[in-house]
Structure 1
Amino acid sequence: FVYLAVNEAFGRLTGLKNVVGKRATEVIPRIKELNPELFEIYGRVASTNKPERFEIDFKPLGLYLSVSAYCPEPGHFVAVFDDISERKQAELRLRQAKEEWERTFDSVPDPIAVLDRAHRVRRVNRAMADRLGVTPEQCVGLHCHEAVHGLGAPPAFCPHMLTCADGQTHTVEVHEERLGGHFLVTTTPLRDEQGRVLGSVHVARDITARKRAEEALRASHERLKKVLEVETVGVMFWDLKTGHLTDANDTFLKMTGYSRGDLEAHLLSWQKFAPPEYQEVGLAGIRKFQATGRAGPYEKECVRKDGARQWLLFAGSSLGDDTCVEFCVDISAQKNAEAALQKAHDELEKRIAERTAQLNQTTELARAERQRFYHVLETLPAYVCLMTPDYRIAFANRIFREWFGHSLNRKCYEFLFDHDQPCERCQTYSVLKTNAPHRWEWTGPNGRTYDVFDFPFIDTDGARLILEMGIDITERKQAEKALQEVNETLEQRVAQRTAELRQSREDLDRAQAVGQIGWWRLDTRKNVLTWSPE
C-alpha cells in the first residue's frame, strides 16, 4: 500500500509527515506485523468496491481508531478515520467498573435480588441463585413470590410491596423453608432520575444461627427459672461491692419474711440478715469469698424481717464483676433436733450429778463423749440434680459433682455403683408413678447417708424429669446412735449405783436393828456376863 494523498488532519492525528509516495510499511515499521487485519480489510475494499466501517486498536501508534474505507476506483481505497482512544478508555473503565461491581455483588454472602414494581426479578447475586438452586440468568423474569415462597401472590408481610407503596426502607424477619432458615429481609427503594420508585433492592441476611442461639438461650433461661422455683432451695444474687441483695427467688424471700418490694427498693443487704455478733465474721467471709471465688458450705443464723432467727445452710460461687450467687436451705428443723438432743443430754448429766458425786469419772467420760458427738454433728451442703426417666443425670450442681463425680452421660446406677441394672432399693423413680413428692433416706456410693427429697419436674420441652435434693445426715445419724449408747450406759451405771446404795442402806438398817435388841456387859474382875435390854 502506497500513500497517494493525505490531508492535514492525518499529520496532526498520527504525527506522521512526508508520507506521500511512500509505502505504509516504510512509514510505519511493523504495521503489517502488529495489525495484519488492516491490510486484509483495505485489500478487500480495493478489490470488491464495497465500503467497510470498523474500529481498530492501532498498535504502532498506540491509538484506537474508527475507520471508514471505500473504493473510489479499482485498486484504490480511501480511509477516513477518527481518534476514539478516549472513548475506548472510558468504555474500558466502565466495563472494568461493571465487572468489579458484579464480582462484589456476587461475593456478598447475603442473598440479594433487584426487583421491579411487578415483583419480577431483574437481577440476583450468586448467593440468591444458589439458594434457589438455579443460575443467576435463570432467575431473571421470575416473580419473587413464586421463586422464593412458592406462592401465587405476594405474602401479606412482603417488604418489597411496602417499599413500592411508600418509597421507604422496610425490614422484616422471615422463616422460609425453601431458602433453608430464618432471614432478616430488608428492601431499599430503587429510583429513577425523577425520584420515582422503580422497584427495590431485596437483601436477605441469614439469621438462622442467631435464632437458634436465641432459642437455646431462652430454653436455658426457662430451665434456670424452673430450677430457681424449687420451694426448698433459696437462691440469692449479691453485689459484693455494695453488699446489697440484687435478686432472689420467692423461696428465699419467704424464708426471711421480706417482700419483693423490699428487694426492688434495694433495702436488703447482708448486714440486715446477719445478727450483730456475726457482723465481723460476715466481713471476713466476704473478703475470703472475693479472694477464692467460693463460699461455704457454711451454717449461719439469719435474722428474719420480724426479728426472729433462723438457721440456714449456705453455699455460693462468684459470677465475676464482684457479683455472686448463693444457695441456701432451711436447717432449722435439724438445729431444733440438735438443741433437743442437747437439752436431753444436759438433763441426763444433771441427774447423774445429783445422784452421786462418786461418778466423776463417768461424768468426765460422758463429757468426752459429748465432745465427740459435737464433732460428728456437722451439717454438710445439699446436692441437687435432675434425672431423666432413663436413669441419666440431665443436670447436677457443684456439690453433686464434688461428692459423686461426673456422670459423662452414663446411667446413675452405672457411674455411682457400677451396676448394670437399676438399684432394687431406689425410691427416686416412684415420683414418676405417683406424681407426688417423696422423702427417703439413701446410702450413697461413698457409704454416707442422705436425707433425700424427690419432686416431679416438667422440663421446658414437656419432658418429665425428677428433681432430687439430698442433705448429708451421716453425722446426725451417727451422733444419734452414739448418744443412745451413752444414755443406755449411764442409765445402767445409775441403776447399778442405786442398787449399791440400796444394799448399803439395807445393811445399815439391819445393823441398827441388832443394836436395839440389847447388849452384854462383861465384868472381868468378877468374871460375870450381864445382859441389858436398854
Structure 2
Amino acid sequence: MNQQTDPYHDHSSPEQAQLMLIEQNRLLKLVASGQPLETCLTEVCHSIAQLNPGTHACFLIADAQRVSFLQVIAPNLPAAFRQRLEGALINEFCIGSFGDAMYRGQPVSCPEIANDDRWSSEWRSLCVAHNILACHSEPLIGLNHLPFGLLMLCFEQARIRTDWEFQLAQFSTQIASIVFERDRTDLVCQDREKQYRTLFESIDEGFCICELLLNQNGEPQDYRLLEVNSAFEKLTGLEQATGKTARELVPNLEDFWLETYAQVVQTGKSIRFEQESIALGHWFDVNAFRIGEPQRHQFALLFTNVTERKQAEKLSRQATEIETFRVSLVDALRPLAHPVEVQATASRMLGEYLNVTRVVYFEVQGADYVVERDYVNGADALAGRYAIESFGEKVLKAYRAGQTTSASDVTADPNLSPEQHSAYAAIQIKAHIGIPLIKNGEFVAGLAVHNATPRVWLPQEIALAEEVAERTWAAVERASAEAALRNAHKQLESALAAGAVYTWRWNIPAYRVIIDAKFARLLDIDAAVATTEGLPIETFINWMHPDDRVLGFAALQQAITTGEAYTSEYRVQLATGEKRWFTARGQVEYDATGNPIALLGALADMTVAKRLEESRRRAEEDRDRFFQLSQDMLAIVHMDGYFLQTNPAWETTLGYTLPELTAQPYIEFVHPDDRAATVAAADLIAQGIPLHEFENRYRARNGSYRWISWSVAPFIEQKLMYCVARDMTDRKSAEVEREQLLQQTQVAKEAAETANRIKDEFLAVLSHELRSPLNPILGWTRMLQTGRLNAPQTQQALATIERNATLQAQLIEDLLDISRILRGKLVLNVVSVDLASIIRAALETIRLAAEAKNIQIQTMFEGTRWRVSGDVARLQQVVWNLLSNAVKFTPEQGRVEIRLSEVGHHAQIEVSDTGKGISAEFLPYVFERFRQEDGSTTRQFGGLGLGLAIVQQIVELHGGTVNVSSPGEHQGATFTVTLPLEQIESPSLPNSSELFAIAHASLVGIHVLIVDDEPDARDFQAFVLEQRGAIVTVVDSAIAALQQLNQVMPDVLLSDIGMPNMDGYTLMQLIRSRPPEQGGMIPAIALTAYVGELNQRKAIEAGFQKHFAKPVAPDLLIQAIADLVNISNSSA
C-alpha cells in the first residue's frame, strides 16, 4: 500500500480528541467508583468501538509469572476466539505480535496477518476465520515497569494502524493500567491488613494504638486507646479498654506515662524504657513510637509485662546485698574487743542497711534489761536500764518462748498493752521487730528494730535482723570472754612478777589441805606439817576474813558439786594481823567412779594490785569529782566518732544528757556548714596533732546552735581524745554586734558626710542662683535711674529685670513648695482636668525658649480619654517643669517630643529629648532634693535641683508615678508620668471662651483701696489696676485705711499683712466688726510675702476672701478682683 494515500493514516480531528476526552472522564469516574476490573475494561472496549467503528479491542491479562493469559476481555469479538485465547501460553505468540509486545514491553503492529510468517498457521487461520486481518498490540505496563498484559486492536481490513488508532491504544492502556494498579493496591492492602490482624492478635506482646488528647491550651491532659490486641488485657488487667481514656481506666495513673507519650508525639522520637506503674501494680518494658502525621497526635505502644523478672532481679539484688552485708558485718565485728563497741557497731550497720529510725541491742540482767548504746536516726536515744515487765505480758511471754514479734503498724497490734501503745507513741514509733535471744533455756538478750512510720516488714528483713541478733550475741560473748581472759592473764602476770603465787591441794575425803612451804611461812605455821600431813579444812577456811568465809566456802562446794572450775577472791588475815587479798583458782579431780577426791589450786597474792586498784579508784573519783564540778565542758571522745563521757556542763550548755550524747556520732550535733572543717580537724587529731582553740557550732536540744571553742589532746594508743570545750556564743554574738555597730556607724558617718556635702553644694548653688539675677536687676535699675537710656535700651533693661525677677520668684516658690512637701502641707485643689489643655498651655509657655534654640517640639495625642482629677496649677507645674528641663538640656537644633496616651486605666505623659542625657551613676538620684548631676562651679546649667523632686511629690499626691530612663550621657532622656483616669464627674475647668474672658477682665469703674507700707509695691499695684480702668486709692498703713473707710466706701480692699503698728490680720478683724454700711462686708484680698498654708488659713480666718503670695501675676490679681466684685454684686 501507498501510505501517503492511505486514509487510515489521517491524524485525529479536534472533534475526535474532544470525544476521546469525554470518554476518558467517563471511564475514570467508573474506575473511581470501584467497579470491577472486567467491567471497567469492557467499557474501554466499547469506547474504542464507538470512537473508531470497525475496530475491535481485546484485553489479555497475564498471570503473575507471565506464562499464560489468565483473563481475556473482548466483548466485541466472537466467543470462540475469546475461548481460544484464554489460558493460551504466551510463548506460542513469541514470533507474532502478541508475544513480542508482551516480552519486549513495546507496541507491535501486524498490517497483514494472513501473510505474516511470524504467526503460526494455526493462529493465522484462526484470525482469518474470524475476520481479523490486521492488528496492533500495546503492552499494559505496571508501576514496576513490567508488562502485566496487553491490548490488541483488531482490524477487519489488512492495513497498518493510524495515528488516531495509536492514540486510542495509548488512551486505553492508560485506563487499564490505572484499574489494574487500583485492584492490585487493594489486594495488597487487604493482604497486609490480614497479615497485620494476624500479627496483631498472635503476638505475645501487648499492642495498642492511642491518641493524645490536648486541652484548649494545647497541653496534654489524657490519651485515648483507639485499638488494643488480646494480649493487652492479659498483660495490664484492663478490660474493654478500646475507646476509653487512660484516666477513665486508671484514675490514679502516674503522670510519668502521659508526659513520656506526649514527648514521643511532640518530638517524633521513639522511646524504649522500663517503668513501674504503682497504680496497675506491674512493671512494663515499653516501646513507644509516633504513627501517622504529627497533627493526628497518634502513637503506638508495644509492651510486655516484666513484673516477674523485676521481682526476680529485686530478690537477687537483695540476696546479694544481704550477703555483702553479712561479710561487712563479720569484718566489722571481728577486731572489736569491747562488748559495747560490738553492740553499737552491729546496731548501726543493721539500722543503716534497713534505713530505720532505731536499732536497740539489750541484755537481760535480773528483773531489768539494759541498753548500753543504740543506733538512732532522727530519734531520741534509749540507752539506760528498764524494767523487763515494761515489755508487757504478751510480748514478754513470746520473748521467753524464743518467738520473734513484729508489727507493721503498732497502733493496730493487739499484742501490745495500752501502756505499750502509749510508750511507743511517746518515742514516735509506728513499726517494730522484736527478737529474743534464748541461751540454755533463758531469755538473756534481744534486739529491737524501730521505725517512725508504718512499714511492712519483708520476711528477708526479719530473717536478717534475727541473724544479726545471733551474730551480735556471739560477738559480745567472745569479747566478754576475751576481756575476762585478758584480765586473768594480767593478774597472773602480776602475781608471778611479785613472786606471790602459792599452791594447795585439798584432800576432799580426808578434809585436809596441803599447802606449799612459802604459803606456810606466810601464815607462820609449821611448814613440815603443812606440806606433808596438811591442815584441817576448817583451819584453811578460818584463815579467810570473816566477811569472806561464807562466799569462799560456797565457791568450794559449788566447784565440787558441778565440776566447774573453782574461782574465788577473798582476804586472808595473817598472824601479824595484816590482811592480804588473794585470788584462788582450782579444778576438782574425780576417781573412776566419778566421786570427787581432790581439789588442786593456786593462790595469787593480789594485795599490791588491790592497793593499786584502790588508788586508781580514788583517783578516778577525784577525776570524776573534778569532771562533775568543772564549769568547762569536758569530754572523752573515741576516735570512732562517739562521745564516751561528758560532764554536766554539757547538759547545762546544750541540754543533752550523757546517754543522748553517746547515742549517735558527735558529727550529727555539728552545724552542717562546719562539718567539713570538723572532720578535717579530727583527721589531724587522729595523726597525734593536738588541737587548740578550734571553733564550730553545736546544735542544742532546743534546735538552736551555739559556738564552741575546743582544745583537744589525742591519745593514739587508746584511740581517745581528751577535750576541753567552752561556750563562745556570747562572745561571738558580741563580736557580731560590734561588727554590725561598726558597719552602722560607718554607714551613718558616710550618710552624714554625704548630707553635709549635699548641703554645702546646695547652699553654694542657692547663693549663686539668688545672687546671679540680682546683678542684672541692680545694674539695669541704676542705668534706668540715670535717664540716659534710649527707648530700645529701656525695653531691654525692663525685659532683663522682669526675666531675672521672675527667675528669683520661681526659685523662692520652689523652696516654698519643698517646705510644704517636707511638712506634709501641700494642698491640692482638685477639679476635673483635661491633660491635653494642660500640655498645650505648657507648650505655649516654653515655645519661645524652644524657638530661640531652634528646637523642634513634636506632640502626639493618642486616644480620647485624657481627663483626670487633679490640681490644675500643680499639674501644669509638672508638665512645664518637664518641658522646660527638656528644652534647657537639649542643644540647638535638637528635638523634644511629648506624647499623651491611654494605658489601661491611666493617662500617660512621656517627655523625651535628644539632649544631654543622664549618666547611669546619677539616674537613681534624679528625683532627690538638692541633687544635681553637676554641682561644680563650672556647671553649664543653673537651678537648685528641686524641680524634679517637686514633680515627683505632686505626681504621687495625684496617685500617679513618675519615672526616668536614659541610655546614657548625650543620648537624651525620657520622663514618664502616669495618672489615674477620672472615674466620676468632677468640677471642670473653664472652657476657652472663659479663659479668654479671664485674660481680658475689665475693672472699669471699680474702686480699689490698696493698703501697703512698701511704696514700690503699692505704686506698682495701683499702676496695674489703673491700666484696667480701676479707681485706686492707696494708703501706707492700717490706721490710714480705717480713716479712709470712714470717708469713702471702696468696692474692694487689697491689703498687705506685714505692716508696722497694726498688721493686716488686725485691720481685717476691725473691718469685719463694722456694720455693712461702714464697710463690714467689703470684699478683701490679702497680698503678702508671708506664704504657706498657715498664713493662708490665718488670712481667711481674719476675714479675707482670697490670699495671694507676692509677687503675683497681674492678670491673676485683676481676675480675682473682678470675681470678688461679681460675687458681691450677685449677693446684693
Q: Which has the larger radius of gyration?
A: 2
Q: Which has the higher contact order (CA 8 A, sep 6+)?
A: 1
The TM-score normalised by the length of structure 1 is 0.39
Q: Structure 2 length as normaliser, TM-score?
A: 0.20
